[in-house]
A and B are shown apart, each in its own frame.
Chain A
């Protein structure tokens, strides 16, 4: 629980982030994400409840915790008159086994800015340097606060690949973002906050599967006739070459449908499983008045 004066920014939030996975924390501005992060990073003390990061209390054990985590702050945070290289080398020198600075600069496309002063870097470049600083100490866990904000499309994709590699190498990631395609691509687990409480948790698949799939659309060669394999489903050709398949569409059913299309050499050009995307789930949750139960009723302690 986190209070600012009379405002309860975070009200009874319980969440668990599991090791070696990417957890995406979503929520509109003012939902309490930043306060929650501040507490986890040890910059604010919670007003109620218990917080453990890597088994440590972020404020009381701050000195022991900091070498083990990498924190990417949302904006600013660096000496304006120092160069990118100087800054990265400074933070590298704080770590026992830092990554090679040159490698990190290359990886994040910052090599040619090595001698550029921080205040002359663009927003996206500053973001990338912030990410480099968070990673240079080889942390076990990284907090990434809107890591691709201000980046152009290419830089965003480069960062996504980097985050995927972090996970593959065993680093745990807690990231916040407003980009739902980013969350859908990267996240193993998702937590959606609204007005200081958790509105939903689960993997992207769990959250989007909640509605189930009830319609499959396929565009293929016109004039096909389904055979007995698809008897338990309703297949209609709504327009020449546009097929709609309705019914109990679990994995086996879909496999059967697609298998049939493939077997008759149907020249499939489009397949759409009409399920909700993470974006749809998110928008629905954050727009409606709050119902009493969160989507996922897993009550877990805020513990790692």
Chain B
């Protein structure tokens, strides 16, 4: 059974068509990344899948049920990592996790979850005393304490420093290894590349491309990108004949120690995709 099955999804706000017929399928245990510029319809789509927004058209099945009619039992199988632990600022981490755990039929032990997100040292601290990154980890803890089969992550590492990001990625990989299906939105292409099994790019309410990080948008077949540092700034070109360009560069005094010839990065591919759609 697929975890998420979407056909022909539509949503219009006051005359503006935010989602214009999207088809999506996310398999069980898969990590799926949804990318796209701000305003492309990502948030709306995810909210519909979470059951927080009504759709105007199309069929949606999340873990076998329609989110619009999902009851408590359905909701207990889903985890959502929100971005706001503002209200609970006076509770300690453990209190908050225990509180949310109590809402689920079969939660993980609070301390186990706290350790998973790396906050064991802070479990007795009030949430208001935590840094932004630590609060995010609390959000994640709350999202996974109910042993969800499916986890929604919305731009989870915004504001994280590089170490924290990598630790977070490890956590997500660990969850995926346990079989949790994960739907992730992000603006960081390196994150998408690191975590996603498959991804889709949403532009103007439609899916512009879908695939694996390696093959998205014809990336595997695309031409080489040549970049090097010259006079303190980085130059990049996509020549038809890389060898020829190299020959030319050797003759100049470009900094060859910085030369790389690579396939386009996922970020390059993404930018090309959304540029072409405009």
Contact = CB atoms under 8 A, between A and B. Distances in A.
Q: Do chains A and B touch in the complex (CB under 8 A)?
A: yes
Interface stretch (B26-34, B47-55, B239-247): B239-247
Interface stretch (A35-43, A48-56, A83-91, A146-154): A146-154
Contacts of B38: 122, 124, 152, 155
A27 B161 contact: yes
Interface of B, helix, strand, loop or mixed by DSSP: mixed
A169 interface: no
Interface in A141-170: 146, 149-157, 164
A5 to B, nearest CB: 13
Given A254-B256, A273-B257, A283-B166, A146 B159 contact: yes
Given A28-B164, A29-B132, A154-B271, A273 B243 contact: no
Interface in B14-63: 36-39
A261 B274 contact: no
Contacts of A251: 255-257
B262 interface: yes
Nearest to A209: B257
Interface in A259-304: 259, 261-263, 265-273, 275, 279, 282-283, 286-287
Given A153-B270, A258-B256, A265-B243, A271 B161 contact: no
Nearest to A203: B232
Contact of A273 (B158, B250, B260, B271): B260
Interface in B198-252: 224, 229, 232-234, 242-244, 246-247, 249-250
Contact of B246 (A156, A179, A262, A283): A262
B116 interface: no
A151 B187 contact: yes
Contacts of A282: 162
A153 B261 contact: no
Interface of B: 36-39, 131-133, 158-166, 187-190, 224, 229, 232-234, 242-244, 246-247, 249-250, 255-263, 267, 270-271, 274
Interface of A: 27-30, 122, 124, 146, 149-157, 164, 178-181, 184-185, 188, 205, 209, 213, 220, 249-251, 254-255, 258-259, 261-263, 265-273, 275, 279, 282-283, 286-287
Ordered nearest first, which 7 A-B pairs have the shortest CB separation? A262-B247, A271-B261, A28-B161, A259-B250, A254-B256, A268-B243, A152-B38
